[in-house]
Structure 1
Amino acid sequence: MEDSGILENLLVQGRRDRDFSAKDALQPVLKLLLGLEGEELRTLVIKEAVRVTEAVILGSVIDAYNSIPDLLRTFVLNGNVSGPSLMGDAERQSMMELRDQVYRIWGLLQSSENFDPTILRSILQVLQEPEARSVGGRVFGGISQRLAARLLQQVLRPPTAP
């Protein structure tokens, strides 16, 4: 989460700097990431992408569960009224904080004066390259493994007594 805090701070500072251009910064970063010597960076990016995506997905699941009326909660998740035990309280709080930080970062990007949504097209073009497809596959595989493991934990967990 520290790295996300650094990114958030850089974006806040970048909003204040008229010379800052996300479009100009994006291309060199993508070239570095997908270049021949970028494997170490790719590994870190993949790990963080999996963690952030998991936080967004599970944060949404937690929010959806919390929006269910108490009476209906007894019918959800094997009658466990205390909620899904996908993770402990500290991990849940950390995950929700990460998700909120990702949403703040996206809000900062969108509200930046010189944010141009068309720069996302350049990302899509880069994603067509073979190395980017490999990175995408590794991210998807990591997310799938983590979510499958959490689902198995939930399904195999013995029901708690009311």
Structure 2
Amino acid sequence: WNRLENLLVQGSKDRDFSAKDALQPVLKLLLGPDGEELRTLVIKEAVRVTEAFTLCTFVDTYNSVPSFMRSLIFNGNGALAMSSAELQSMMELRDQVFRIWGLLRSSENFDPALLQPILQILQQPEARSLGGRVVGGITQRLAARLLQQVLRMPMAPTSSLSALDTR
């Protein structure tokens, strides 16, 4: 992500730089027969970025809830079962992706029609498979996070059934 951001910053200074010209070969490589290693990396990063966006949005929402309501809504456990270092890393990733998107949008030759070839390529069977793998990875990561949260929650007080047992 750092390299991509640096390339975009440098590209924005060069009048000959065209994101459109750079995008087509990358997409062909990604979806071509020799692109499995690149596809695996893209899937991993897409899952990681989506997880960061989802969890950071959840944390932002949690932090916007008045403190007296947090204990009612979240059972006093905090927003997420994750270390502050992990959360900080996710926040930085999300912010970096926002900066990259901002660099793309602010470049002189950025045209939303630039994304149209991506839509055409996404209709190919290889791209559908790639999308399915990304969705599967996201589902697995978020399900794992949900299980972490559920298993972390203290058990609600239960009525003592042993008092009713008259054996």
TM value normalised by structure 1: 0.93
Gap regions ≥5 residues in structure 2:
156-167
What runs of 5+ residues in structure 1 fail to find an aligned partner?
Answer: none
- Match in the other structure for 2:5: 8
User: Are positions 1:85 and 2:74 aligned together?
Assistant: no
Asked if 1:29 is matched to 2:26, the reply is yes
Match status 1:94 vs 2:93: no
Task: State the partner residue of 2:55.
Answer: 58
Q: TM-score, normalised by structure 2?
A: 0.90
Residue deviations 1:79-110 (CA, integer Å, cap 9, x gap): 32xx2233111000000000000000000000
Identity of aligned residues (%): 74
What count of residue pairs does the alignment treat as equivalent?
155
Partner Cα separation in structure 2 for residue 87 and residue 99 of structure 1: 16
Quick check: 1:33–1:39 contact (8 Å CA) kept in 2? yes
Whichever of the two has the greater Rg, that structure is 2
For residue 158 of structure 1, report the CA deviation from its aligned partner: 3.2
Alpha-carbon distance, 1:159 to partner: 2.5
In the alignment, which of 98, 109, 114 is matched to residue 114 of structure 1? Answer: 109
Indicate which of 41, 44, 60 corresponds to 2:41: 44
- Checking the alignment, whether the CA contact within 8 Å between 2:81 and 2:152 is kept in structure 1 is no
Q: CA RMSD for the aligned pairs?
A: 1.1
Q: Runs in 1 of length 4+ with deviation above 2 angstroms?
A: none
Distance 2:81 2:59 in 1: 9
